[in-house]
A and B are shown apart, each in its own frame.
Chain A
Amino acid sequence: MDKFIVSSSPHIKDRSRTYRIMLDVIIALMPTAILSVYYFSYVAALIIVTSVSSCVLFEYLFNLIAKKKHSETDLSCVVTGLILALNMPPLKSSILLSIIGAFIAIVVVKMLFGGIGQNIFNPAAAARIFLTASFSSLMTVYVAPFSDGVTSATPLVLVNNGNMPTYLDMFLGKTAGSLGETAAVTLIAGGIYLMIRKVISWEIPVTYIGTVALLSFVFGQDLLFSILAGGLMIGAIYMATDYTTSPMTRSGKFIFAAGLGLMTASIRRFGSNTEGVAYSLLFMNALVPLIDRFTTVKTFGKVKKK
């Protein structure tokens, strides 16, 4: 008797794949990565290579030791490594620190919670917070582009001294800061690419940046400055939109992003900390299960029980 395959419908699937989504994020981040190498020369390149390769290696080793199915090919660890690298200050010490960061991000924050789709906190944001808390002197010192390692204050610090950089410099990333959080232009371009490819939707980035802009206006701060400074762009476009650590529904995304904006603007206004974006991300990440619980979609034809 001839036997044929019996399986559940549907029998056809579209061409989307997890690795393809991750590849799109990598493509979107490429201009920023290249720009950082242009600004900060070989140090930036070394940080990126070290961070990405340690993330991949840690995930590989974890799967090997835990006897789990190999998940490195979905490229999500490459994305984490890239975002982590772009969150590091352009110092030689960051090369070593990025290995520690990769361990925290991949092993502690991601894999121990069950791997892709299961982690509660954004791996890169958590790693950055960990590094800042543990090595604060190395993580909060920044160098200006083309300065051969001469340390300088970031715009968010400069503004307190009244030495503001021009908007154009900030837009092009010609200010002190970590590798990738300075150049708004390439980050926005990558964000637009991701929206065209339907990898991310506009809700989170626009609401997040919009809330920060609105609140800084209310607080009497420079509106354009506050959205161009610090890690807001990379945080809003690439980190807050991480599928795993953001809400599933549209209404949930609005709440999540508005909360992020409120947190970031408040930390910048009332706190002394320059890590506003990463802290708000961790805080709101923890609220995602709660937001998900209360923002379910309305099912077709549901009638209220009498």
Chain B
Amino acid sequence: MIKQFKKIKGGVILPHNKGTSEIPSKIMPIPELVEIPMQQHIGAPCETLVKKGDKVYVGQIIGDSKQFVSVPIHSSVSGEVTETRKTMLFNGTVSESVVIKADGLQTILPEISKPDISNKENFLKAVRNCGLTGLGGAGFPAHVKLNTKDRIPEYLIVNAVECEPYITCDYRAIIEDGEEIIKGIKLILDNLSIPKAYIGIEDNKCSGAEKLEKLASEDDRIDVVVLKTKYPQGAEKMLIYALTGKKVPMGGLPIDVGTVVMNVTSVQTLARYCETGIPLISRRMTIDGKGVKERGNYHIVLGTYIKDIFEFCKGDKEKTLKILCGGPMMGMAAKDLDMPVIKQNNALLFMTQEDLDFIEESACIRCGRCIDACPMGLMPLTLNKYALAKMTDELEKYNLMNCIECGACSYVCPAKRHLVQSFRIGKELLKKEKVKNG
């Protein structure tokens, strides 16, 4: 185990609330009905390849796109397509979707076989065929990220930081499927000829770090780096800085500083696909919050409705006020239970009055705590003022687009101002301005 290279600037110490970390993952039974959206990633949505009445198998491609930035969608159950329609996802995106009535047999597509991995080209193809996206919550197609063209990265950075409170699915993946993680890392290192891999993990997950250290000890290309717990260290740019001391330039990508960052669960999923040929059809999700009784990590097939999970985990509709898809710092609130879960949903938190903070906004007192908390070196209070006044020139000047929306500023604000919310609006204004000016 090695120590972190650099300390990140700013950031906040959060209550961890990782009460589900030591509960072994369980498997949630296949629901009767699943709804699989055609847009489960950043990039072009897939075209539906099946129609009503079609029989589908587990792992069958039911949606695909010719665009580069897109990944195929597979059926997560075996059964019959009952409907194709438009549906709204938790993040407000409206997507085509396929509703499948599961037969409960989970028959795997007969043609499925282990992918042939012999060179970089067919490795990247395999990553795409797996349907892999960033499973840490971003949902960016993995084959696009790994395709660095002629630039060979110096480091593969595996993100096991999981700095959001409540979420423990990455930690459970390390404890339960650590071997696959190391296998996945080796696969990526071998096929992309990357010389070095760092696994970044925070010191509140010591047993996870020890486990990875033991598994990685035989390969000197892989090092486990234990980071001092601080939010938002799991943000890509922060993690790269903490591990290598390199700063991703504003508006740039990790590859600009010779790194590629992959979430630990993504790496594990890739290894499993390469072993079995079964693509990404289910994932481990943390179900927590005082709104549900049976908290823990569950293997859930993609397309399962939130209401089925809620019921299975003995949810209390009276108590639950907010459904968070993701953590409490960056997660989005879903408007109802009738939404399916998709690839990037790493947690569902059913929050009650006790879990949340509802405090009215008051005037900014210029205390400057937000400046100290911002890991990106921004001045949130100034940006807030300009965003509310819609002054786009000033927003540009104060580097609004560099904001990663981690929420550290809103968290520490004593006036409880809705800082991040105003930045989202400000960013939209800037984008519109850009379109207008060509």
Q: Are A11 and B366 in contact (CB under 8 A)?
A: no
Residue of A nearest to B399 (CB): A299
For the complex, what is the distance from the CA of A10 to the CA of B248, rounded to whole Å?
24
Q: Are A243 and B367 in contact (CB under 8 A)?
A: yes
Distance from A35 Cβ to chain B, minimum over Cβ atoms (Å): 28
Residues in A with CB closer than 8 Å to B407 are 9-10
| Residues 382-393 of chain B, each 1 if its beta carbon lies under 8 Å from chain A, else 0 | 100000000000
Q: Are A2 and B336 in contact (CB under 8 A)?
A: yes
Residues in A with CB closer than 8 Å to B363 are 71, 115-118
Q: Are A297 and B414 in contact (CB under 8 A)?
A: no
Residues in B with CB closer than 8 Å to A14 are 12, 411-412
Name B300-346 residues within 8 Å CB distance of A: 317, 320-324, 328-338
Q: Are B357 and A3 in contact (CB under 8 A)?
A: no
Name B415-438 residues within 8 Å CB distance of A: 415-416, 418, 420-421, 424
Q: Is A1 an interface residue (CB 8 A)?
A: yes
Contact of B328 among A11, A18, A298 (CB under 8 A): A11
Residues in A with CB closer than 8 Å to B367 are 21, 243
Q: Are A74 and B362 in contact (CB under 8 A)?
A: yes
Instruction: Say yes or no: A303-B365 contact (C-beta < 8 A), given A5-B321, A11-B331, A297-B378.
Output: no
Q: Are A9 and B320 in contact (CB under 8 A)?
A: no
Q: Are A12 and B328 in contact (CB under 8 A)?
A: yes
For the complex, what is the distance from the CA of A17 to the CA of B12, rounded to whole Å?
16
Distance from B44 Cβ to chain A, minimum over Cβ atoms (Å): 26
State the main secondary structure of chain B at its contact with A.
loop
Name B185-228 residues within 8 Å CB distance of A: none
State the main secondary structure of chain A at its contact with B.
loop
Residues in A with CB closer than 8 Å to B366 are 117, 243-244, 248
Q: Is A166 an interface residue (CB 8 A)?
A: no
Distance from B344 Cβ to chain A, minimum over Cβ atoms (Å): 15
For the complex, what is the distance from the CA of A297 to the CA of B371, rounded to whole Å?
8
Residues in B with CB closer than 8 Å to A116 are 363, 365
Residues in A with CB closer than 8 Å to B416 are 13, 17
For the complex, what is the distance from the CA of A5 to the CA of B356, rounded to whole Å?
11
Q: Is A249 an interface residue (CB 8 A)?
A: yes
Q: Are A20 and B414 in contact (CB under 8 A)?
A: yes
Name A3-57 residues within 8 Å CB distance of B: 3-14, 16-18, 20-21
Q: Are A301 and B362 in contact (CB under 8 A)?
A: no
Residue of B nearest to A244 (CB): B366
Q: Are B250 and A301 in contact (CB under 8 A)?
A: yes
For the complex, what is the distance from the CA of A52 to the CA of B134, rounded to whole Å?
57
Distance from A289 Cβ to chain B, minimum over Cβ atoms (Å): 11
Residues in A with CB closer than 8 Å to B317 are 2
Residues in A with CB closer than 8 Å to B379 are 248-249, 296-297
Which residue, B9, B249, B317, B410, has most C-beta atoms of chain A within 10 A?
B410
Q: Are B424 and A8 in contact (CB under 8 A)?
A: yes
Residues in B with CB closer than 8 Å to A299 are 250, 376-378, 399, 402
Instruction: Say yes or no: A13-B359 contact (C-beta < 8 A), given A1-B338, A18-B365.
Output: yes
Q: Are B377 and A297 in contact (CB under 8 A)?
A: yes
Residues in A with CB closer than 8 Å to B413 are 13, 16
| Residues 268-298 of chain A, each 1 if its beta carbon lies under 8 Å from chain B, else 0 | 0000000000000000000000001000111
| Residues 350-362 of chain B, each 1 if its beta carbon lies under 8 Å from chain A, else 0 | 0100011101001
Q: Are A9 and B371 in contact (CB under 8 A)?
A: no
For the complex, what is the distance from the CA of A115 to the CA of B410, rounded to whole Å?
21
Q: Is B31 an interface residue (CB 8 A)?
A: no
Residues in A with CB closer than 8 Å to B323 are 4
Q: Is B145 an interface residue (CB 8 A)?
A: no
Residues in B with CB closer than 8 Å to A118 are 363
Residues in B with CB closer than 8 Å to A76 are 365
For the complex, what is the distance from the CA of A71 to the CA of B363, rounded to whole Å?
9
For the complex, what is the distance from the CA of A14 to the CA of B405, rounded to whole Å?
17
Residues in A with CB closer than 8 Å to B338 are 1
Q: Are B357 and A301 in contact (CB under 8 A)?
A: no
Q: Are A4 and B334 in contact (CB under 8 A)?
A: yes
Q: Are B329 and A10 in contact (CB under 8 A)?
A: yes
Which residue, A9, A21, A118, A303, has most C-beta atoms of chain B within 10 A?
A9
Residues in A with CB closer than 8 Å to B248 are 301
Instruction: Say yes or no: A248-B381 contact (C-beta < 8 A), given A11-B331, A16-B412, A301-B402.
Output: yes
Contact of B399 among A7, A18, A292, A302 (CB under 8 A): A302
Instruction: Say yes or no: A9-B332 contact (C-beta < 8 A), given A299-B377, A300-B247.
Output: yes
For the complex, what is the distance from the CA of A302 to the CA of B252, rounded to whole Å?
10
Distance from A250 Cβ to chain B, minimum over Cβ atoms (Å): 9
Which residue, A3, A18, A300, has most C-beta atoms of chain B within 10 A?
A300
Q: Are A5 and B414 in contact (CB under 8 A)?
A: no
Residues in A with CB closer than 8 Å to B415 are 18, 117
Q: Are A300 and B252 in contact (CB under 8 A)?
A: no
Residues in B with CB closer than 8 Å to A8 are 418, 420-421, 424
| Residues 72-103 of chain A, each 1 if its beta carbon lies under 8 Å from chain B, else 0 | 00101000000000000000000000000000
Distance from B353 Cβ to chain A, minimum over Cβ atoms (Å): 10
Residues in A with CB closer than 8 Å to B258 are none
Q: Is B290 an interface residue (CB 8 A)?
A: no
Q: Are B322 and A13 in contact (CB under 8 A)?
A: no
Distance from B311 Cβ to chain A, minimum over Cβ atoms (Å): 12
For the complex, what is the distance from the CA of A115 to the CA of B363, rounded to whole Å?
9
Q: Is B165 an interface residue (CB 8 A)?
A: yes
Residues in A with CB closer than 8 Å to B1 are none
Distance from A299 Cβ to chain B, minimum over Cβ atoms (Å): 4
Contact of B322 among A4, A74, A248, A303 (CB under 8 A): A4
Residues in B with CB closer than 8 Å to A297 are 371, 374, 377-379
For the complex, what is the distance from the CA of A20 to the CA of B9, rounded to whole Å?
26
For the complex, what is the distance from the CA of A1 to the CA of B351, rounded to whole Å?
18
Q: Are B328 and A10 in contact (CB under 8 A)?
A: yes
Q: Is B293 an interface residue (CB 8 A)?
A: no
List chain A positions with a Cβ less than 8 A from chain B.
Answer: 1-14, 16-18, 20-21, 71, 74, 76, 115-118, 243-244, 248-249, 292, 296-303
Q: A4-B320, A297-B378 are in contact. List 13 more A-B contacts (CB 8 A).
A: A6-B335, A8-B418, A8-B421, A9-B328, A9-B330, A9-B407, A10-B411, A12-B356, A76-B365, A248-B382, A300-B247, A301-B252, A302-B250
When A and B form their complex, which 6 residue pairs have the shortest distance between CB atoms, in order from nearest? A10-B407, A8-B421, A16-B414, A13-B357, A299-B377, A299-B399
7 contacts between A and B (CB under 8 A): A5-B322, A9-B333, A10-B420, A16-B413, A115-B363, A249-B379, A303-B249
List chain B positions with a Cβ less than 8 A from chain A.
Answer: 9, 12, 14, 165, 237, 241, 247-250, 252, 317, 320-324, 328-338, 351, 355-357, 359, 362-369, 371, 374-379, 381-382, 398-399, 402, 405, 407, 410-416, 418, 420-421, 424
